[in-house]
Amino acid sequence: MIADDGGYGSGCLRRLMDFDRIPWRGNNNDRPARPAALFMSDATATLFGSHRPRIESDPHWLARLPMLIGILLAAFGLPLALGAVLAPTVLMRWLPVLQTSGPNSLLALALLGAAVIALRTDRPHLGDLFAGAALLLAVGPLLQALLGLHPADGVLRLILDTRQEPGRADFWPGRMSMFSSIGLMLAAGCLIMLGRLAGGRGVKLWFVALTALFALGLVGVLGPLVELPLLVSPFGESVETGMGTACGLLALVLALFRMAVGAPPVAAYFAGRPDRSVFALSAVGLMGMLVVGGVLTSGLLAGASLQGQRDALAESLRAHLLLADAELRVAGSIAEEARRRAEGGALDWFVAPENLAGARAAAVSIRIEPPGTRAPRDGGLRMPLGRDGEAALTLRAGWWIESRRTLDAERGDIVVEMPFAPFDLLAERIAALGRSGELVVCGQPDGDGMEHCFPTRRIGRAFERMLVQARKPQPTPMARALEGESGVELVRDYRQRRVMAAYAPIAGSAAGVVLKVDVADLQAPLRRTLWGGVLLVLLVALAGGAVVHRHVKPLLLRLSRTERALNRAQAVARVGSWYASARSGSIAWSDETYRIFGAERGTSINHRRVISAIHPDERARVRAAWRSALGGEPHDIEYRILAAGKTRWVRERAEPEFERGGTTPSGTTGTVEDVSERKAREAELLDSRQKLRELAAHHEKLREEERTHIAREIHDEFGQHLTALRMEAALLQLQFGEDHPALAQRVSVMKKSIDRTIQVVRGVASSLRPAALDLGLGSAAEWLVGEFSTRSGVHCELSQPEQELELDDARATVVFRILQESLTNISRHAGASRVEVDIFQLDENVVLEVRDDGGGFDLDEVRGKKTFGLMGIRERARMFGGSARFSSRPGAGTSLRVEIPLKDENAEGVMP
* Domain 776-912 fold: Heat Shock Protein 90 (3.30.565)
Per DSSP, the three-state class of 12 is: coil
- Neighbour-count burial of 295, counting CB atoms closer than 10 A to its CB (0-12 exposed, 13-18 middle, 19+ buried): buried
Residues 6 or more apart whose Cβ sits within 8 Å of residue 860: none
H or E element, residue 636: strand 635-643
Half-sphere exposure in the Cβ direction for 604 (13 Å, CA): 18
Instruction: With CA atoms as reference, report the closest residue to 282 among 562, 588, 540.
Output: 540
Q: Report the alpha-carbon distance of residue 347 to residue 337 in Å, rounded.
A: 9
Q: Report the alpha-carbon distance of residue 208 to residue 211 in Å, rounded.
A: 5
Amino acid at 706: E
Instruction: With CA atoms as reference, report the closest residue to 174 among 273, 254, 99.
Output: 99
Q: Report the alpha-carbon distance of residue 187 to residue 248 in Å, rounded.
A: 10
The pLDDT score that the predictor gives to residue 697 is 65
The length of the chain is 912
Half-sphere exposure in the Cβ direction for 593 (13 Å, CA): 24
Q: List the alpha helices (DSSP H) in 31-154.
A: 42-47, 65-86, 88-94, 103-120, 124-147
Residues 6 or more apart whose Cβ sits within 8 Å of residue 374: 382, 446, 447
Instruction: With CA atoms as reference, report the closest residue to 818 among 856, 791, 780.
Output: 780
Q: Report the alpha-carbon distance of residue 616 to residue 677 in Å, rounded.
A: 21
> What are φ and ψ of residue 296, in 5° steps?
-65, -40
Q: Structural domain boundaries of the chain?
A: 59-260, 307-525, 574-674, 675-769, 776-912
Q: Report the alpha-carbon distance of residue 719 to residue 425 in Å, rounded.
A: 153
* Cβ(845)–Cβ(902) below 8 Å: yes
Q: What is the dihedral of CA 741, 745, 746, 751, to 10 degrees?
A: 130
| Sheet of 646-658, strands arranged across | 587-589, 575-581, 665-674, 646-658, 635-643
Distance of CA 234 to the CA centre of its chain: 41
* DSSP-derived secondary structure letter, 718: I
H or E element, residue 894: strand 894-901
Q: Report the alpha-carbon distance of residue 757 to residue 825 in Å, rounded.
A: 28
> What are φ and ψ of residue 510, in 5° steps?
-95, 20
Per DSSP, the three-state class of 548 is: helix
Q: What is the dihedral of CA 694, 700, 705, 709, to 10 degrees?
A: 150
Residues in the chain predicted with pLDDT less than 50, given as ranges, are 1-60, 349, 357-358, 906-912
Please report the DSSP string for 260-307 in residue order: HTT-HHHHHHHTT-HHHHHHHHHHHHHHHHHHHHHHHHHHHHHHHHHH
Q: Report the alpha-carbon distance of residue 127 to residue 123 in Å, rounded.
A: 6
Q: What is the dihedral of CA 532, 537, 543, 546, to 10 degrees?
A: -140
The pLDDT score that the predictor gives to residue 863 is 64
Helix then strand count (H, E) for the chain reads: 26, 21
Q: Report the alpha-carbon distance of residue 459 to residue 320 in Å, rounded.
A: 23
Q: Report the alpha-carbon distance of residue 55 to residue 276 in Å, rounded.
A: 10
Q: Report the alpha-carbon distance of residue 257 to residue 272 in Å, rounded.
A: 20
- State how far the alpha carbon of 683 is from the alpha carbons of 158, 273, 697, 899, 906, in Å: 76, 45, 21, 26, 19
Q: Which CATH class is domain 574-674?
A: alpha beta
Reported as a single tens digit per residue, the pLDDT across 9-42 is 333 323 323 333 444 444 444 444 333 333 333 3
Using only the alpha carbons of the chain, give its radius of gyration: 54
